[in-house]
Amino acid sequence: MPYSDAGHAPVTVIGLGLMGQALAGAFLADGHPTTVWNRSTAKAERLVARGATLAASARDAVAASPLVVVCVTDYQAARELLDPLGDVLAGRVLVNLTTGTSKQAHETAEWAALQGATYLDGVILAFPQTIGTAGAVLLYGGARPAFDTHESTLRSLGAGTAHLGVDHGLPALYDMAMLSVMWNVLNGFLHGAALLGTARVNAATLASFMRQGIGAMTEWVSAYADQIDAGRYPAVDSTLDTHLAGMEHLIQESESLGINVELPRFVKTLTDRAVAEGRGGDSYAAMIEQFRKPTTVRP
């Protein structure tokens, strides 16, 4: 049955944790008739006060709207919730915004197809506070026509709403890539803060100092991305040999100040391998070859 998303289309949100409440709140703010359900009913109270309809069961919540958004702790919870619902999902568009791996996304897509549902897997690259704003990025994978039909409703969740293609697993892969970037940047900051802390320089000072450095680094990243995509790593700025010498200094400094050295040692281990493979004269981008391999030696 064709479904028009013109106007304020109805939507169901299942899972009202910190993120689910933000999602339902953004739909309500945009005028969408919003049905909600959560295992613990109390979490629906504020949304109901804002005009949401609390369904009596998960099954009733699914039955209430052609577009069903699920956002719970993990895929296991999502399946525990959805598995017993039987045929009520048939003919609906199920959007799963629960965080997981691309394998879990593919498995859930297969399961949803067996239920007769059209499945979109999505990821949220945002905190609950930014949902519904220009800063919120939400990425979707799965059938394009289903995304097109519901795009204006899904856009209520953030201006950075995009469909990446038919691969249900691709959004999760983007999510994992961004998590990797985030934790590595944060760990570098924390290690740096521990270093400077030994000289009583506070973390706020490093944070403001970092702003400029991070800005410059995003420019290097673009240049290195071009090298990675081309498969050639000319050292126009600094060779891996030079980086390696700096890593040794970082380890020595950390050791002598009595702070944790696992992070710089791990980075040096990878760089040692790249240099041993003849990459010492290349740029840092050559390290991609270390990350592309499966782990053989645990750091």
Task: List interacting residues with ligand NAP (CB under 6 A).
Answer: 15-20, 38-40, 43, 71-74, 77, 80-81, 98-99, 124, 127-128
Which CB atom, from 43 or from 144, has the smaller least distance to ligand NAP?
43
Which CB atom, from 33 or from 128, has the smaller least distance to ligand NAP?
128
- Residue 126 Cβ, how far from ligand NAP at the closest point, in Å? 6
- Residue 148 Cβ, how far from ligand NAP at the closest point, in Å? 24
- Residue 115 Cβ, how far from ligand NAP at the closest point, in Å? 17
Which CB atom, from 39 or from 273, has the smaller least distance to ligand NAP?
39
- Residue 138 Cβ, how far from ligand NAP at the closest point, in Å? 9
With 0-12 / 13-18 / 19 or more C-beta atoms within 10 angstroms meaning exposed / middle / buried, residue 270 is middle
What is the length of the chain?
299
Which CB atom, from 72 or from 93, has the smaller least distance to ligand NAP?
72
Q: Which helix (H) or strand (E) holds 12?
A: strand 11-14
Can you name the residues that pair with 94 across neighbouring β-strands? 68, 119
Residue 207 has a CB neighbour count (10 Å cut-off) of 12
C-alpha 81: how far from chain center: 22
Which CB atom, from 43 or from 155, has the smaller least distance to ligand NAP?
43
- Residue 157 Cβ, how far from ligand NAP at the closest point, in Å? 11
Cα(282)–Cα(84) distance, integer angstroms: 56
Do 289 and 277 contact (CB within 8 A), yes or no? Answer: yes
- Residue 118 Cβ, how far from ligand NAP at the closest point, in Å? 21
Which CB atom, from 31 or from 86, has the smaller least distance to ligand NAP?
86
- Residue 24 Cβ, how far from ligand NAP at the closest point, in Å? 11
Q: Which amino acid is at 87?
A: D
Which CB atom, from 16 or from 274, has the smaller least distance to ligand NAP?
16
Q: Which helix (H) or strand (E) holds 80?
A: helix 75-82
Do 81 and 70 contact (CB within 8 A), yes or no? Answer: yes
Core vs surface per residue 213-249: b (16+ CB within 10 A) or e: eeeeeeeeeeebeebbeeeebebeeebbeebbeebee
- Residue nearest ligand NAP, Cβ-based: 17
